[in-house]
Structure 1
Amino acid sequence: MAKITKEIILKAIKQSNHTLITTHNKLCLPIINRIYTKMVHGIKFDDIKVCDVLIIDGHHRYVSSLLAEIKLDQAKSSKTIATTEYDWTDVEFDTEDKIKRLNELDAEFNNISIEELIKMTT
């Protein structure tokens, strides 16, 4: 697997048949990589929360699903006053490390041990 970069993400978004609009101006590449790796190994994820075409919750899952070419379900959500639309080309992809806690949540959601999840994705 090639290292996921902003350029690879923007290409996947551009090639997508149904592009959602981001309401975040910063996303985390390690989180996208973690979710992508799990998706291609069959780990399931919760729905993306959307209001019309705006992503309300699930930005990292959405991007990862585009990269993995896996369709995630969408659940309707309400738009809040704090929701701002951003162009995907303006999104900053940082390297903040939240992986340990998110791995724990994914293991719990899939009813498997954290050790089994880590073994599966490394």
Structure 2
Amino acid sequence: MHEITLKNVRDLLESGTLELVATQDAINLPILQRIYKKMKIGIEFANIRVKGSRIVDGHHRYICSELSKTKIGQNDWQISSTAVDCSWRDVNIIEKDYETPEMIQVHNERDAELNDVDINVLNDL
């Protein structure tokens, strides 16, 4: 399976093609890689939360949906009045994984249950 790289993500962020607006200044490459792999095998995710064109929650899912050419739903959501828009070109891509193996397992269990997939399929990605 094709894996996304720092270059793939950076190229997308700098492409000027993203329709939604970032409201956080960093994303995490290992999280993107895990979500991307799941999307590529058909795992569905919860809708991202947006206010107008601003992402409230779901930056990683949005980027992965764009990279994998997978449609992801959107729910209208309230956004904090202190939220600041960020240019995708300026969003920092963190390469160090900040999720623990336990956190990753919780995500895999949730995704397996929501998609009625054997947990081993996700653990083996």
TM-score, structure 1 as length reference: 0.84
- Where does the alignment leave 5 or more consecutive residues of structure 1 unmatched? none
1:35 matched to 2:13: no
When structure 1 is superposed on structure 2, of 102-111 and 58-67 the one drifting more is 102-111
SS of equivalent residue, structure 1 residue 32: helix
1:107 to 109, 112, 124: 112
- 1:47, 1:74 within 8 Å by CA — same for their partners in 2? yes
Q: Distance in 2 between matches of 1:109 and 1:68?
A: 20
Mapped contact 2:3–2:33 kept (Cα < 8 A): no
The number of equivalent residue pairs is 118
Q: Which amino acid aligns with 1:54?
A: R
TM-superposed CA distance for 1:91, in Å, is: 1.0
1:48-63 paired onto structure 2 within 5 Å: 48-63=48-63
Specify whether residues 28 and 101 from structure 1 end up closer, same or farther in structure 2 by C-alpha distance, changes over 3 A only.
farther
What residue identity is the alignment partner of 1:11? D
- Contact kept? 2:3, 2:37, Cα under 8 Å: no
Q: Which amino acid aligns with 1:92?
A: N
Identity over aligned residues, as a percent? 32
Match of 1:64 in 2: 64
Cα deviation, residue 35, structure 1? 0.4
Deviates more, 1:96-105 or 1:74-83: 96-105
> Could you list the runs of 4 or more consecutive aligned residues of structure 1 that deviate by over 4 angstroms after TM superposition?
none
Report the aligned-residue RMSD.
1.9
TM-superposition CA deviations, 1:12-42 (whole Å, max 9, x none): 35264x5111011111100100000000001
Moved more, 62-71 or 103-112: 103-112
SS of corresponding position for 2:75? strand
Q: SS of 2:31's equivalent?
A: helix
| Structure 2 unmatched ranges of 5 or more | none
Residue in 1 that maps onto 2:121: 116
| 1:76 Cα offset (Å) | 0.5
Contact 1:49 1:57 in 2 (8 A): yes
Deviates more, 1:95-104 or 1:80-89: 95-104
Q: Does 1:74 align with 2:74?
A: yes
